[in-house]
Homo-oligomer: A and B are copies of this chain.
């Protein structure tokens, strides 16, 4: 990236400063302009110096991306911050969409870099054990930008393919039906006893973790801050952990007393 005039799109990770990468911290601290959702800006305030800070509301993503471009064109080093990973349902794609609309050329600049971060689905998975250990997918239930029939088709495919599935944006105040539909679609392919984790505010103040099963998952509170992890047909609970075995047991003895067998 050139000395001046660039955009770094930075993943803050789930919230715990210990899960924000050094590269993200450096990019943030080296920026002249920091742009982000108000809540995320608050989170990084302790790390900021005399940067110009533009804190915006949740619905103003497009404005944030446009402002980033304008400041970068004016020669500033801009940091656009996202929670989790900026490349997963966050700001990276939108910044590139705005750049494309503006006719940005890579060799003319401003330079753009995406700094990845630990995503919500990984944070949730780590807090409940090892649920993502086999093929998995992420589906957002938000219908603001995606037609409902596309979401349904994705859920159908995820369920039929026996993917461990992370549901993002599972329910808003206005939108309560898609999570019910999701549950019904999964019940066509998986047992009602399939393990499900509902994780809210992973690694943040007020963290809530609830382990339940597919048939019961809507008996518990679910909102926009909840990530829903639905196990595949092999996922189990064990000692308060959610675990998707990868298949070692069928091939290798796992007992700790057998020392030398089982190498491939």
Contacts and interface: CB of A to CB of B under 8 A. Distances in A.
Interface of A: 13, 16-23, 26, 59-63, 65-66, 69-70, 85-89, 92-102, 104-106, 112, 114-119, 122-123, 125-127, 129-140, 144-146, 150, 153-154, 156-158, 160-163, 238-241, 243-256, 259, 262-264
A153 B156 CA distance: 13
Q: Is the interface of A mostly helix, strand, loop or mixed?
A: mixed
A115 B119 contact: no
Nearest to A251: B145
B114 A70 contact: no
Contacts of A92: 126, 129-130, 133
Nearest to A61: B248
A72 to B, nearest CB: 11
A252 B145 CA distance: 10
A116 B105 contact: no
A63 to B, nearest CB: 7
B102 A255 contact: yes
**Which of A23, A87, A131, A251: most chain B CB closer than 10 A?**
A87
A154 B117 CA distance: 26
A260 to B, nearest CB: 9
Contacts of A13: 21
Given A135-B139, A161-B153, A145 B248 contact: yes
Contacts of A116: 19, 118, 122-123, 125-126
Contacts of A95: 130
Contact of A97 (B65, B126, B240, B243): B243
A18 B140 CA distance: 29
Contacts of A89: 133-134, 246
